[in-house]
Structure 1
């Protein structure tokens, strides 16, 4: 079970990052081109939101069934262990909270520019945080 969840979490990460990247890129293009925010733009942002939330749920599940989870919190001198047991989950939770705030703010925005800006800023910050705490050595070796 643990191996399946770990592989799913690693594999889904590619899709979640791709969806998030597309959402940020689409929002930036919307700002630059000064286009109207359409249902297509809303769906692109929604898919980015859903992809990251699925990744969060699977990641939390993995964290609690992992031998590296809660038991390793006392060993903070080991950088790799600290990354996987503390920095990665905490930073990604913050990133997904920012993405969720961006989604909520875009829904309340009055005009297209404000909608695109909310998505660009909050999804962009979330993307940067996620990329900063990926355990690259572990991920690329899977």
Structure 2
């Protein structure tokens, strides 16, 4: 097994951690926002871990982008759409986390996280669906 295959497997598996953390952060933010709960240290830690895991996933993806034979082969989805959508999702998550830090109101913090992380999740799911359309051999939950 070479470096490319190891990194591809890591990128493929790490996505589950990102998706799980993202869904948990969104659920927690919605519960805090709609339930008018205080913004706790636990909320902050979950949001930061979600941000870190997303950034690690993007780092894996960027390294793969420059090593991948799919990009060299000129497959449009991998050259443009996948990387663009995933970077956009990571930017949404990063901006949401940063903006929530500047808000003093707990409901505002929860709302900001719920909105930005939710939009990031929508973009990620849309990119995964586009991947399935671009390569029918892949599945939504299958390891690539």
Is residue 127 of structure 1 aligned with residue 121 of structure 2?
A: yes
Calculate the TM-score normalised by the size of structure 2: 0.88
Deviation string for 1:70-109 (max 9, x for gaps)?
x344xxxxxxx32222111101101100110000100000
**1:121, 1:20 → 2: CA distance?**
12
Is residue 62 of structure 1 aligned with residue 64 of structure 2?
A: yes
Q: Where does structure 1 lack aligned partners over 5 or more consecutive residues?
A: 74-80
Deviation string for 1:16-75 (max 9, x for gaps)?
111111111110011121000000010111111111111000000011110112x344xx
Calculate the TM-score normalised by the size of structure 1: 0.89
**Per the alignment, in what secondary structure is the counterpart of residue 133 of structure 1?**
helix
Find the counterpart in structure 2 of residue 77 from structure 1.
none
Q: Where does structure 2 lack aligned partners over 5 or more consecutive residues?
A: none
* Contact 1:99/1:126 (<8 A) preserved: yes
Deviation for aligned residue 1:141: 5.0
* Contact 2:13/2:143 (<8 A) preserved: no
In the alignment of these two chains, the number of paired residues is 134
1:93-132 equivalences under 5 Å are 93-132=87-126
**1:12, 1:58 → 2: CA distance?**
9
**1:11, 1:110 → 2: CA distance?**
36
Q: What RMSD, in angstroms, separates the aligned Cα atoms of the two structures?
A: 1.3
